Amino acid sequence: MIEIKNLSASTEGKPILKGINLTVKPGEIHAIMGPNGAGKSTLAKVLAGHPSYEVTGGEVWFKGQNLLEMEPDERAHAGLFMSFQYPIEIPGVGNVAFLRAALNANRKARNQPEISLQDFEKILAAKMSAMDIKPEFKERNLNEGFSGGEKKRNEILQMTLLEPDLAILDETDSGLDIDAMRVVASGVNHFHNDKVGLILITHYQRLLDYIKPHIVHVMLDGKIVQSGGPELAQELEERGYDWLANPSAEEPST
Amino acid sequence: MATDTLFRGGSEYKYGFVTEVETDTLPKGLNEDIIRALSQKKGEPAWMLDFRLKAYRKWLEMSEPRWSNVSYPPINYQDLCYYSAPKKKPALNNLSEVDPEVLKTFARLGIPLDEQKRLTNVAVDMVFDSVSIGTTFKKKLDDAGVVLCSISEALHRYPEIVQKYLATVVPIGDNFYATLNSAVFTDGSFVYVPKGVHCPMELSTYFRINDKETGQFERTLIVAEEGSYVSYLEGCTAPAYDNNQLHAAVVELIALDNAQIKYATVQNWYSGNPQTGEGGVYNFVTKRGRCAGVNSKISWTQVEVGAAITWKYPSCILQGDNSVGEFYSVAMTNGRMQADTGTKMIHLGKNTRSTVISKGIAADFSHNSYRGLIKVVPKASGARNYTQCDSMLVGANCSANTFPYIEVGNATSQVEHEASTSKLNEEQLFYFQSRGISTEDSINMIVNGFCKDVIKELPLEFATEAQKLLTLKLENSVG
């Protein structure tokens, strides 16, 4: 589905990603963990095409296409989705208008007919109730005055509406209380199937109690330094990241 | 739709062309002889000449206002031409005699004169430099008893009405530019809606400056008799010259008992070279409406996206009890543009209400100021005002200011003021794009979301086009 080869990227001349290698196949859930500043969010933004980051090396293939040559909207059309860590507020633009514009833009790019407002309302109502989002949401402007939890739910709602093939969830658990996290996790689990790839970016193991990853990666200083099964997350929770940063210090002396 | 092109401003100004046309022009400079010659050319009644001379003498004693938040080099008023008209003038009601070059100009601007292509249900009056070129839909308006004609024509055909109302809202000596206009105005629109008549169609005037050194001084007068209704829209463009053109218009609206006037402007004058700031129109305009009667209502809606400098405060004098004034404005500046615009709501009558919604968008190196006055006199009991001023900044080199003045002399009145400033930035755009929405649609949605409360006040025919215009104007300024 996605193949990231030796990807390097910098912002304002400062290197952040220093050779990332990662392959995600359909149906797989990958978790990327690591301390603050390791470059996890940068990886998500670079994959989504954020203009503030410059790719300085490597390549990314998404469903056979050269992802790095595509505009952010084209990446979305191709089936890539990123859930933002800090979704931005847009005054004056209604949630419904935005969601419908996004859905129709993707449909148009895939040569599907536009969806009528009536049909859209039906689909939206079903998805909203699955995410436990109140009807007032429809009257509100995009993320305007939303609590942290409401913003994150809106991100996952967008994901379930747009039905991407690969979703990158950047710190989707941050700012959520335990009930909200359950709702969000259930939304993600409900959405996930054997055709969809997921990359979960998270600080803590907490989210992984609800969404079970197949593979866990540890990112430090712009590189993936360790990969393993779900048990790696548990180990990180217990030992922190230092032993990975300085592996020699932890090795028993001979 | 024919006015499409008016709005298709884009990041490159599409109306910057010049029409080669033989003109009848008075020599440069301003003095009493020029004014007499101008008045004579127009065959005006004696009282009109007296009016002009009186204004001119007042003007000589006045000095140019310097309080606005804009800067420009001194204007040499003796180096301007005050009258320029295409030589071949049309006979009234017969557009076939208009100089073909002038007709072509309006066709290029998307204002077709031929019957089949006319804007459905919008009557258009066209003003080219100093004169009105023609008016469409005369017959339909005649049947309804509505008058839409040039002010020059009105001086001949309806002198009593013109004399009765002219300068009753903007007095002869009101301010420097309005006084200059009173002395030298050449043309503009006159609208008269008789008692009880609901005007059957949108009225519209299209203003075009063509000549390089002619100032445009148009004068518009709209009178709505008791219980009548009229909606009027004006559009403006000018060629791209490297010197500045002066546009000093005066617009007066009078609404009698239970009458309603909606006045909308889409102003897209040439705004000068975006890099150097060279050239462009100085748009120094006085617009004021008098809600003279009880329950009368005047609404100003403006979408200002052009002109090098804009100095303009469409205002309402709320004289009649229960009268209502509204001001909805989008002012967008980019390149090196400067705008100082807003409104004045003067509450004189009891239970008068006013609403002010102002949206300023500043991009590139431009300066955008809102300036507004809400005044409630002691006898205006129960007066209410709500003002909302929002500014959006695009990029880091522009500025937005708000100068609200509030004078309340009555304890039973309510005045509310809200203001905000936000930034249209890369993050907002990226958010939209990452959901599959194109750059153009993203800017469109964000900017129009910001301006929504104003755009919805425009006549339907123009709202979509105004949205496109805003998007096009900003496209090169974002990201």
* B407 touching A (Cβ < 8 Å): no
* B357 touching A (Cβ < 8 Å): no
Selected residue with higher pLDDT from B243 and A69: A69
Please state whether the predicted TM-score (pTM) of the whole model is above 0.90. no
Q: Which residues of A touch B430 (CB under 8 A)?
A: 48-51, 72
Q: How far apart are the first and last CA of chain B?
A: 31
Highest mean pLDDT among A33-42, A245-254, B7-16: A33-42
Q: Which residues of B touch A50 (CB under 8 A)?
A: 430
B422 and A72 within 8 Å at the Cβ level: the answer is no
Q: How far is A54 from chain B (nearest CA, A)?
A: 15
B435 and A105 within 8 Å at the Cβ level: the answer is yes
User: Is-contact B468 B7, C-beta < 8 A?
Assistant: yes
Residue B200 domain boundaries: 4-477
* B430 touching A (Cβ < 8 Å): yes
Residue-wise pLDDT for B4-23, tens only, equals 333 333 446 666 666 666 67
DSSP A87: P
User: Is-contact B333 B370, C-beta < 8 A?
Assistant: no
Selected residue with higher pLDDT from B241 and B419: B419
pLDDT at B11: 46
A82 and B434 within 8 Å at the Cβ level: the answer is yes
Q: Which residues of A touch B444 (CB under 8 A)?
A: none
The average confidence (pLDDT) of chain B is: 84
User: Is the model's pLDDT at B448 over the cut of 50?
Assistant: yes
Lowest mean pLDDT among B43-47, B118-122, B426-430, B474-478: B118-122
Out of A73, A82, A87, closest to residue B437 by CB: A73
Q: How far is A95 from chain B (nearest CA, A)?
A: 11
What's chain A's length in residues?
A: 254
Q: Which residues of A touch B446 (CB under 8 A)?
A: 90, 92-93
- When pLDDT is cut at 50, 70 and 90, the band that residue B91 belongs to is very low
A72 and B428 within 8 Å at the Cβ level: the answer is no
Contacts of B126 (CB under 8 A, 6+ apart): B106, B111, B113, B132, B133, B134, B135, B205, B206, B208
Q: Which long-range contacts (CB under 8 A, 24 or more apart) does A174-183 make?
A: A174/A85, A174/A148, A174/A203, A175/A148, A175/A149, A175/A151, A176/A148, A176/A149, A176/A152, A177/A149, A180/A149, A180/A152, A180/A153, A181/A206, A181/A207, A181/A210, A182/A210, A183/A131, A183/A132, A183/A153
Residue B205 and residue B463: Cα distance in Å, rounded? 17
A92 and B449 within 8 Å at the Cβ level: the answer is yes
Residue B187 and residue B151: Cα distance in Å, rounded? 6
Q: How many CB atoms lie within 10 A of CB B120?
A: 10
User: Is the model's pLDDT at B312 over the cut of 80?
Assistant: yes
Quote the tokens at residue A23: 């392959």
Quote the tokens at residue A192: 């996930």
pLDDT at B461: 66
Q: Which residues of B touch A91 (CB under 8 A)?
A: 422, 449-450
* B47 touching A (Cβ < 8 Å): no
- When pLDDT is cut at 50, 70 and 90, the band that residue B99 belongs to is low
Radius of gyration of chain A (CA): 19
Quote the tokens at residue B85: 């008209």
User: Is the model's pLDDT at B104 over the cut of 70?
Assistant: no
Residue B72 and residue B69: Cα distance in Å, rounded? 10
Kindly report the CATH number assigned to the domain that includes residue A207. Answer: 3.40.50.300
Q: Which residues of A touch B434 (CB under 8 A)?
A: 48-49, 72-73, 75-76, 81-82, 84
* B381 touching A (Cβ < 8 Å): no
Residue-wise pLDDT for B342-399, tens only, equals 999 999 999 999 999 999 999 889 999 999 999 999 999 999 999 999 998 887 889 9
- When pLDDT is cut at 50, 70 and 90, the band that residue B276 belongs to is confident
Q: What is the mean pLDDT of residues A12-41?
A: 93
Q: Which residues of B touch A98 (CB under 8 A)?
A: 432, 435, 445
Residue type, A165: D
Q: Which residues of A touch B449 (CB under 8 A)?
A: 90-94, 141
User: Is the model's pLDDT at B163 over the cut of 60?
Assistant: yes
Q: What is the mean pLDDT of residues B238-259?
A: 86
Residue B15, SS3 per DSSP:
coil
Calculate the dihedral angle through the C-alpha atoms of B177, B178, B179, B184, rounding to the nearest 10 degrees: 90
Q: If you count residue pairs, one on A and one on B, with CB atoms under 8 Å apart, how many are there?
A: 75
Residue A144 and residue A93: Cα distance in Å, rounded? 9
A87 and B431 within 8 Å at the Cβ level: the answer is yes
Number of domain units in chain A? 1
Mutate to test the interface with B, among A88, A156, A157, A163 (most CBs of B within 10 A): A88
User: Is the model's pLDDT at A11 over the cut of 60?
Assistant: yes
Out of A87, A94, A105, closest to residue B437 by CB: A105
B430 and A87 within 8 Å at the Cβ level: the answer is no
Contacts of B55 (CB under 8 A, 6+ apart): B172, B173, B179, B180, B182, B183
Residue A168 domain boundaries: 2-250
Contacts of A130 (CB under 8 A, 6+ apart): A160, A187, A190
Radius of gyration of chain B (CA): 21
Residue A34 and residue A240: Cα distance in Å, rounded? 9
- When pLDDT is cut at 50, 70 and 90, the band that residue B2 belongs to is very low
Closest CA to B230 of B123, B120, B117: B123
DSSP B218: B
Could you tell me if residue B444 is left (phi over 0), alpha (psi between -120 and 50 degrees) or otherwise beta? alpha
pLDDT at B441: 86
Q: Which residues of B touch A92 (CB under 8 A)?
A: 446, 448-452
pLDDT at B35: 94
- When pLDDT is cut at 50, 70 and 90, the band that residue B422 belongs to is confident
pLDDT at B464: 74
User: Is the model's pLDDT at B476 over the cut of 70?
Assistant: no
Rounded to the nearest 5°, which phi and psi values hold at A234? Answer: -65, -40
Number of domain units in chain B? 1
A48 burial level (CB within 10 Å; 0-12, 13-18, 19+): buried
* B423 touching A (Cβ < 8 Å): no
Q: What is the mean pLDDT of residues A209-236?
A: 91
Q: Which residues of A touch B436 (CB under 8 A)?
A: 73, 76-77, 102, 105-106, 109, 162
* B439 touching A (Cβ < 8 Å): yes
B451 and A162 within 8 Å at the Cβ level: the answer is no
Mutate to test the interface with B, among A41, A71, A86, A93 (most CBs of B within 10 A): A93
* B440 touching A (Cβ < 8 Å): no
Q: What is the mean pLDDT of residues B95-119?
A: 55
Q: Which residues of B touch A158 (CB under 8 A)?
A: 435
Residues of A with CB under 8 A from a CB of B: 48-52, 71-73, 75-77, 81-82, 84, 87-88, 90-94, 97-98, 101-102, 105-106, 109, 141, 158, 162
Could you tell me if residue B272 is left (phi over 0), alpha (psi between -120 and 50 degrees) or otherwise beta? left
